[in-house]
Structures are given as structure tokens and as C-alpha cells.
Amino acid sequence: MKVNADICSMNILIAAATSLEIQPTIEFLQQQNFSVQKKDFTVLITGIGGMTTAYNLTKSFLQNRPDHSIQAGIAGSFHSGIPIGSVVGVQEELLGDLGAEEGNHFKDIFDLGLIMENETPFNRKGLKNPHLQKQPKYGIPLVRSVGINEITTRKERIETLTKKYNPDIESMEGVSFHYVCLREKIPFIQIRAISNYVGERDKLNWNLNEAIKNLNKKLIEMVSSLANLS
């Protein structure tokens, strides 16, 4: 019996930049004592931005290596095809703020020849999730995200990102999450709920409440789905 219990056990990490974004899920897990169907769940609040995410995620992996990792948070959408309130899964992350500006042009680290476009763990300059086909679909569209350690507001910057990377959404922590998980060979998934359109700084035109509500509804659904895996 002990062998079967060990086989069924699984450690799953849920990472988010802030507790606000996943508070309903935290409360759900607290009611379950962070264990559902012999699956143990750990919540990691990494802090905002790529730097704190990379450090705290790596530290957590070294202390207690998970079998699966989920990152959940809000994001900005580049187009109306992904409206405010929608929940998406990220299939690819792109580095959007590491490089140099030469004149009116942004050159990333691949353009500058500092990293080759297929250098591990990159695939044609992207950090792609190779695990998605083996995971439940969860009924969400898959998108391309660009990682920026800022909230993009300048029209020229938005045009550069759109032309260069053709992204669907932007976030601050997704690149670091994909990078660390790929390097450590830990299966992962990143989900985001759209709170605003990229370039919109007037918070009156954001909908954080709707994004957080929909994000956690989907996240709790994912927790239940993973808990039932054998």
C-alpha cells in the first residue's frame, strides 16, 4: 500500500507575483489543508518582476523540487481578440526588454549575437512550453507572450513590440518562469487573465476584479483536475 501511495503522491507548486492575484485559490487550498487527493500543493509568492521571480522560484525548486509547476497572474492584451476578463494559457514567452536601443530601433540579445536563437533553452528565440500537449486542455486559448519588466505605455514601444514579436499579451514574470522551469526540466503551465489592454494606464479602464475572479475560477479547476491525475 505504501508503494501505491507514493506513486499517487505529487507535489505541485503554484506561483504568483502577488497574493492578491490568487487569493481565492489560496483560501480554497487552505480549506483542503493544501492537499487534494494525495496531491500536495505549495503556494509561492515570488514578488513582482523577472528578477525576484527567477530568484525565488529557483530557491523554491532547490528546497522542494515539485513534480509540476503552475504560474498564474494577470496580464495586458495587445488586441481585442483577447478581451479583458479572458483567461489564456501561454505557449511561448519572448524576451522583450533585454538588449539595446540603436537609434529608433530595439535590438534584442539575439540580434546582437549575445545568445544564439536556439541556445538552450531557447527555441527560435522563444521559451516554448513543450509539455502542453501532454496536459489537460482546460478549455483556454494558447497565446504568445512578451516579457517586459514594466507596464508598456508609449505608443512607439508598443508598435516596436508588436512588429518585432507579434505578441498576444505581455507580463512581467512569465519569461523567468518559463526559463527556470525549462532549465530545471520541471513540467509547467502558465495561465493569465486579462485585466487591461496594453498601453492603457487609466485604471478606471482596467478590470482587475473580473480578471482575478476568472483567473481563480480556472486555477481552482486546474487544481481539481491535477488532483485527480493518477
pLDDT in tens, 118-159: 999 999 999 999 999 887 778 999 999 999 998 888 888 899
Is the pLDDT confidence value at 191 over 60?
yes
Cβ atoms of 111 and 133 closer than 8 Å:
no
Cβ atoms of 174 and 145 closer than 8 Å:
yes
Domains of the chain: 2-227 (3.40.50.1580)
Q: Which three cell numbers stand for residue 6?
A: 507514493
Q: What is the pTM of this model?
A: 0.92
Decide which of 153 and 62 is more confident: 62
Phi, psi of 145 (to 5 degrees): -120, 145
Cβ atoms of 13 and 70 closer than 8 Å:
yes
pLDDT in tens, 195-230: 999 998 888 889 999 999 999 999 999 998 887 765
**How confident is the model over 28-32, as a mean pLDDT?**
92
Cβ atoms of 198 and 147 closer than 8 Å:
no
Range list of β-strands (E), 30-174: 35-36, 39-45, 68-77, 87-95, 99-102, 105-108, 126-128, 142-147, 169-171
DSSP label of 123: B
Question: What pLDDT is stored for residue 12 in this prediction?
Answer: 95
Question: What pLDDT is stored for residue 8 in this prediction?
Answer: 54
Is the pLDDT confidence value at 6 over 50?
no
Lowest mean pLDDT among 36-45, 51-60, 61-70, 77-86: 36-45
**How confident is the model over 16-29, as a mean pLDDT?**
97
Question: What pLDDT is stored for residue 201 in this prediction?
Answer: 80
Residue 172 sits at the vertex; the CA angle it makes with 51 and 85, to the nearest 5 degrees, is 150
Cβ-Cβ contacts under 8 Å for 178 (sequence gap 6 or more): 90, 93, 127, 128, 129, 188, 190
Phi-psi region at 207: left, alpha or beta (left = phi > 0; alpha = psi -120 to 50): beta
Is the pLDDT confidence value at 15 over 60?
yes
The C-alpha atoms of residue 209 and residue 195 are separated, in whole angstroms, by 8
Question: What pLDDT is stored for residue 220 in this prediction?
Answer: 96
